[in-house]
Amino acid sequence: MLLYPSSRNITCLLTVWALSGLAAGAPVTVYDNATTNNTTGSYAPNGFWPFNAFAPNEPMGDQITLNNEAPEREIVQFDVVLSSSQPVNLLTVTLAFYEIDADTWFPGDQLWATSAHNVAVDGITAVIFSVPSVVVPDSFIWVVGADSALAGLATYDAPSIGSSADFYWDHDTLGGQWYPLRFDGSPIANFGAKIVAVPEPGVIAILAVSGASMICKERVLRHRRAKPANL
């Protein structure tokens, strides 16, 4: 026998499907240190820290914590703010995300890496990286590298969304060592970056469908309790 769902069940099914479709969520800015408070100082007189401060093409970057009030942790876009003392073309700009090692607090496993080529920098310049839905923890380390003494990471403080440790990480490419470094003076060693993320589909979909299912069950039970008894 073919059974057709009631209008009430159809409504519940549509609710589940709708919430499942919304599970991907809209992109949200979960970290922003790129739109306000550009800084200058003795260690960054032009408002940036040059890439070749210690050695050519030595990656450096920030240890950050994303907005704890937002659940989005699947990064889809990363903007890094570079700056230069004159117009310059960077042949390659590398970007990588690292976990924070739970034992040493140094950069641990690499989560993701990419590169951009022929990047033109003329003063304050935002370089936008599309990220293929990389899931990150609340706190992690990002590093950027390029071969230039005329350009570097723009210095900003403090983040308007999220937070940043007041030091930066430098990766000695020859020795393979990581060094947490501070500026001996102003500004604070925070760099300009902006991160856009979406909710993790699996987690949000489960929550959405579970919530819709509970609503449907409650409606069914309420309907049964309200149904007149057969006399």
Residue 20 has pLDDT above 90, yes or no: no
Copy the structure tokens of residue 173. 């490419």
**Letter string b/e over residues 64-73, b meaning 16 or more CB atoms within 10 A of that residue's CB:** bbbbeeebbb
pLDDT (0 to 100) of residue 231: 42
The structural architecture, per CATH, of the domain 24-208 is Sandwich (2.60)
Continuous segment of H or E residues that includes residue 121: strand 107-121
Confidence of residue 201 (pLDDT cuts 50, 70, 90): confident
Confidence of residue 222 (pLDDT cuts 50, 70, 90): low
- pLDDT, tens digit, 9 for 90 and up, residues 81-120: 999 999 999 999 999 999 999 999 999 999 999 999 999 9
Confidence of residue 212 (pLDDT cuts 50, 70, 90): very low
pLDDT (0 to 100) of residue 17: 39
Domain ranges of the chain: 24-208
Partners of 224 in the β-ladder? none
